[in-house]
Amino acid sequence: MRIAIIGGTGVYDPKFLENPEEIKVSTPYGEVKLLKGIYQGEEVGFLARHGSGHTVPPHRINYKANMWALKSLGVERILSTTAVGSLKLNLAPGDLVILDQFIDFTKGRIHTFYDGDDDKVVHIDFTTPYCPELRSILYETSKELGIKVHPFGTYICTEGPRFETPAEIKMYSFFGDVVGMTKVPEVVLARELEMCYASVSIVTNYAAGISQAPLTYSEVLEVMAQNIEKVRKLFAMVIPR
Ligand code: HPA
For the stretch 54-64, pLDDT in tens is 888 999 999 99
CA separation for the pair 199, 155 (Å, rounded)? 10
* 145 burial level (CB within 10 Å; 0-12, 13-18, 19+): middle
Write out pLDDT tens, residues 187-198.
999 999 999 999
User: How far apart are the CA of 164 and the centre of ligand 1, in A?
Assistant: 8
Reference 25, options 73, 64, 93; nearest CA is 73
CA separation for the pair 108, 160 (Å, rounded)? 11
CA separation for the pair 195, 1 (Å, rounded)? 12
**Does residue 125 contact residue 133 with C-beta atoms inside 8 Å?**
no
Non-local (6+) Cβ contacts of 155 within 8 A are: 82, 84, 99, 101, 102, 103, 176, 177, 178, 179, 180, 183, 199, 201
Residue 230 has pLDDT above 90, yes or no: yes
Residue bearing the CA closest to ligand 1, atom 2: 180
Mean pLDDT of 128-156: 97
Give me the pLDDT at residue 146, please.
Answer: 95
Residues with CB under 6 A from ligand 1: 83-85, 158, 163-164, 179-181, 204-205, 207, 215, 220
Q: How many CB atoms lie within 10 A of CB 37?
A: 17
User: How far apart are the CA of 19 and the centre of ligand 1, in A?
Assistant: 33
Q: Measure the CA angle with vertex 19, ends 237 and 143; round to 5°.
A: 10
Entry pTM: 0.95
User: How far apart are the CA of 137 and the centre of ligand 1, in A?
Assistant: 26
Write out pLDDT tens, residues 19-48.
999 999 999 999 999 999 999 889 999 999
Secondary structure tally for the chain: helices H, strands E: 5, 11
Write out pLDDT tens, residues 136-146.
999 999 999 99
CA of 206, closest atom in ligand 1:
7
* 62 burial level (CB within 10 Å; 0-12, 13-18, 19+): middle
Residue 87 has pLDDT above 90, yes or no: yes
User: How far apart are the CA of 128 and the centre of ligand 1, in A?
Assistant: 24
**ipTM greater than 0.85, yes or no?**
yes
